[in-house]
Structures are given as C-alpha cells and as structure tokens.
Amino acid sequence: MFPRLELLLPLIFCLHSHLVALAWDPDPVQDFCIPNAKVGSNNARAQCKNSTEVTPDDFVFSGVKAPGNFSETGLSAKSVNPATFPGLNTLGMSFVRADLQVGGINAPHFHPRATEIAFVVQGKVYSGFVDSTNRVFAKVIEQGEVMVFPRGLVHFQMNVGESTATVFASFNSQNPGVQKIPSTIFGSGINDELLEKAFGLTLEQIGKMRRRFFPGRKG
C-alpha cells in the first residue's frame, strides 16, 4: 500500500522549503562580522573582529572610483565582495562596477546564486535577459535608469552610445557566482564531438573557439 497523498504533501512541502532555504545566503546572527585576519578558521565566532576594534573605515570601500583594465570585448569589471571589501561579510550582498567602451559588450552570462539590479551611471546600454522559455527581454537603458536580471537567467549588455558607459550593479548574495556562456562552453573542456553535434560547427571552428577561450589547449 502506498502512503496517502495528504500525508505526503506536508513532507514534500517541508523538504522543498528546506532546499529553497539552502539556496540563499544564511541570515546573519549579529549586526556585522568584520573578518579578523589574526584568527584562524577553527573558531567561527572568533573569526569576527571584536566590535570595539571595528572602525568606520571597515564599512567604506574606495576601489570603484575609476574603471579597471579593459578586456578584448571592451569590458572593465571591478567586483566588490567580502574578499575585497570585508565590511560586506555576512551581509548577503555584493557589488560590481562595469565600464563598457563604445561598442563593448558584457557577454551573455548568469549568476547562479543572485538576482542582479543594474543602474546606468552614464551612457546608453542595450541590456536584457532571456527567460526559461527563450523569450528575450531587452531594451536600451540610459543614465539614471535601472534594470533587474532575475537570479539564474542569462543576461547581457552592450554599449550602444557614443562614449564610455558606466554601470553600477548589486547582487543579493555576497557570493553570486558567474558563468559566462562563451567561456563555459568553449573554455571548459567539453568533448569536441558533443559541441560539433550541438552547434553544427566543424572541428576546425571549435578549435578556433577553444584557442580563444582556452589558450592553454592545443588544437
């Protein structure tokens, strides 16, 4: 005899709720936790500085005043997370400054652990995302406008203006993760035959893409 459905539903609901909860950053158990570089990782509570040793400087970061180095795609991205800005530790958020040269792109990518909200500081940026039905939501956003990219969905940006564009974006996770589609596909070592069948490319074309996104690979 199988268990009655009405008896299984509460268990299924509890398991689902638990799994969903695990997908998010844990709630903090104190006001803040500035990492204590002097203490090892064995004592979790001691990893935080004593609050009497914390100063306003621990909550200020000056590393996004100017753009960083630009990539071949015309993108400069400066990530701000607990590794670079310890004041964010345990607060469940992170940040990025992105600058795009004229015609520059932020290649299609996604963040497995966070929703992103992007604010255009200057310029005109073609921005959008693709939902799970392959529908594209995209438009040009300009200075002062904001666009949200739902968690786990592929999104992209391209500077369509006549000057460098600057975007500030924040995430609802201190470790949102990022997977760029081109480098994930062609730079991760996926079997060539599989890629040939999936994309209709020749082995020569796949090799060319490999060399671009996986420089250490031969052939």
- The CATH number of whichever domain residue 169 belongs to comes to 2.60.120.10
Enclosing domain of residue 191: 178-218
- Give percent above pLDDT 90 in the chain: 73
Structure tokens at 5: 């459905």
The sheet that has 146-149: what strands, in order across it? 75-80, 94-100, 165-171, 116-122, 146-149
Number of domains in the chain: 2
**Is the predicted pLDDT of residue 15 greater than 60, yes or no?**
no
Asked whether residue 115 falls in the same domain as residue 203, the answer is no
Residues 115 and 151 sit within 8 Å (Cβ to Cβ): yes
For residue 109, say whether it is annotated as part of any ligand binding site: yes
Specify if 145 maps to a domain. yes
Average pLDDT, integer, range 16-42 = 67
Specify if 67 maps to a domain. no
For residue 155, say whether it is annotated as part of any ligand binding site: yes
Specify if 207 maps to a domain. yes
What is the per-residue pLDDT for 215? Answer: 64
Asked whether residue 138 falls in the same domain as residue 108, the answer is yes
Specify if 62 maps to a domain. no
Specify if 13 maps to a domain. no
Specify if 32 maps to a domain. no
Per the prediction, the chain carries an average pLDDT of 86
What is the per-residue pLDDT for 19? Answer: 41
Q: How far apart are CA 169 and CA 185, in angstroms?
A: 25
**Is the predicted pLDDT of residue 199 greater than 50, yes or no?**
yes
Asked whether residue 188 falls in the same domain as residue 170, the answer is no
The torsion region of residue 73 among left (phi > 0), alpha (psi -120 to 50) and beta comes to alpha
Asked whether residue 168 falls in the same domain as residue 92, the answer is yes
Average pLDDT, integer, range 23-50 = 74
Average pLDDT, integer, range 92-99 = 97
For residue 89, say whether it is annotated as part of any ligand binding site: no
Q: What are the φ and ψ backbone dihedral angles of 127, each rounded to 5 degrees?
A: -130, 150
Please state the pTM of the whole predicted model.
Answer: 0.81
Asked whether residue 170 falls in the same domain as residue 213, the answer is no
What is the per-residue pLDDT for 189? Answer: 85
Average the pLDDT over each of 47-51, 81-85, 120-124, 194-198 and give the range with the smallest value. Answer: 47-51
Using 50, 70 and 90 to split pLDDT, how confident is the model at 27? confident
Q: Angle at CA 200, nearest 5°, toward 194 and 203?
A: 65
Asked whether residue 131 falls in the same domain as residue 142, the answer is yes
Q: How far apart are CA 62 and CA 64, in angstroms?
A: 6
